[in-house]
Amino acid sequence: MKSLSELEAIRQKTLERIALRKEDRDDGVRIVIGMATCGIAAGARPVMAAFMDEIDRRHLRNVTVTQTGCIGMCRLEPMVDVIAADGSKVTYVKVNPEKARMIVADHIVNGHPVTEYTIGNYADQA
Amino acid sequence: MRDWSLHLLDLAENSLRAGAGLVSLGVSLEEDGRLIITLSDDGCGMGPELLRAVTSPFATTRSTRKVGMGLALAGQNAERAGGGLHVSSAPGRGTTVEIEADTRNIDCLPLGDLAQTFFSLICLNPLRPDFEWRLRSPRGEEHFDTREIRQALGEGISLGEPEVREYICSLLTEQCETVFGGIMQ
Ligand SMILES: Nc1ncnc2c1ncn2[C@@H]1O[C@H](COP(=O)(O)OP(=O)(O)O)[C@@H](O)[C@H]1O
Ligand SMILES: [Mg+2]
């Protein structure tokens, strides 16, 4: 069984790692997930879990995952914005865990947005 | 929604939007199979008019969408399972949502993955608010509180650090398994 006493070791480990980390959150990427009723019903929770897992697995320390409410396009949920350090934003629609992992690999790690899944591509087809 | 844990994630979003400093969840499975869920917050609360309208599917204060469905949908699912949903709230006094459902009722939603719901809320809001839960069943009782974790970690370490996240995830999963494992999915 987990206990609070484990946190002392975790505290030390985290402090050591933070000391090594360049505190350059300014050049970080933000992933923003829609977490309103429509987003949650459409599967935003497993999408969020997939992003977290992929980020941790790849030790991407400059990527943060946050949430937003309803932006009024329920049928395109789960929706995810990837916002670069310079403020430029790519919006992905109908994201699932598999797409989430691909977005991390292609867009965030390699710098090539997955245009196939972006809102622009969806609008062109509609 | 497919299960109660997803409804709770959605309802907790209301608490976040209300500026809550603490969100408390109670989930209790009684001897007789009744499921009693309480979600309370110390956010901005609601006035009587909104409160009256809030469980009908036509109430919302947000401008981007005219119809808020979260509470109404949860209420429908509770009633379908021989229970109901009750909201008490006052401006400046926070909000409490109580849900009751009969798990022996064939129309009762499964409990779902409560640990994933709490984990998501904490990961996405690592600085504020605090989250607390109390889980209970004939099998036992567990309590979780981010205030205790913050205190043990001390200044300068966010709940969003990967090592801390991992700890929180396995603690939440373990507690759910202890209390509900094998009785409810
Ligand atoms: N915990 C809460 N604190 C304050 N206001 C709330 C709370 N829960 C619900 N409300 C109010 O009730 C409205 C309806 O909530 P809900 O049914 O979840 O739909 P939605 O969140 O989509 O608006 C909200 O927009 C909000 O104004
Ligand atoms: Mg809501």
CA nearest ligand 1 atom 25, residue = B60
Residue A15 lies in a domain: no
Mean per-residue pLDDT over chain A, rounded = 90
Residue A35 lies in a domain: yes
Q: Average the pLDDT over B82-92 and give the result.
A: 96
- pLDDT confidence of residue B150: 97
Residue A99 lies in a domain: yes
**Which has more confidence, A120 or B16?**
B16
- Ligand 1 pocket residue status of B22, Cβ below 6 Å: no
pTM to 2 decimals?
0.94
Mean per-residue pLDDT over chain B, rounded = 92
Domain around A92? 28-125
**Number of residues that make up chain B:** 185
Mark yes or no for CB contact B17/A4 under 8 Å. Answer: no
Residue A105 lies in a domain: yes
Question: pLDDT tens, A4-57?
Answer: 889 999 999 999 888 877 655 566 899 999 999 999 999 999 999 999 999 999
- Determine the Cα–Cα distance for residues B163 and A11; give it in Å rounded to an integer: 9
Residue A32 lies in a domain: yes
Q: In what order do the strands lie in the sheet with A29-34?
A: A63-68, A29-34, A80-83, A89-92
- pLDDT confidence of residue B64: 47
**CA distances, A110 to each of A106, A115, B103 (Å):** 5, 14, 48
- pLDDT confidence of residue A41: 95
B123 CB within 8 Å of a chain A CB: yes
Number of domains in chain A: 1
The CATH number covering residue A104 comes to 3.40.30.10
Q: Average the pLDDT over B80-106 and give the result.
A: 97
Q: CATH number of the domain at B4-180, please? A: 3.30.565.10
B131 bridge partner residues: B23
**CA distances, A117 to each of A73, A84, A95, B114 (Å):** 15, 17, 8, 30
Residue A18 lies in a domain: no
A47-77: b (≥16 Cβ within 10 Å) or e? bbbbbbebbeeeebbbbbbbbebbbebbebb
Q: Which atom of ligand 1 is nearest to the CA of B44?
A: 4
A81-98: b (≥16 Cβ within 10 Å) or e? bbbbeeeeebbbbbbebe
- pLDDT confidence of residue B58: 57
| Range list of β-strands (E), chain B | 22-29, 34-41, 84-89, 95-102, 130-137, 140-145
Q: How many CB pairs under 8 A join A and B?
A: 90
Say if residues B160 and B123 touch (Cβ distance below 8 Å). yes
Task: Return residues 53-72 of A near B (CB < 8 Å).
Answer: 56, 64-67, 69-72
Residue A9 lies in a domain: no
Residue A65 lies in a domain: yes
Q: Which atom of ligand 1 is nearest to the CA of B45?
A: 4
- pLDDT confidence of residue A122: 79
Distance B10 CA to ligand 2 centre (A): 6
- pLDDT confidence of residue B140: 95
- pLDDT confidence of residue B66: 46
**CA distances, A24 to each of A13, A83, B154, B178 (Å):** 20, 16, 22, 41
B141 CB within 8 Å of a chain A CB: no
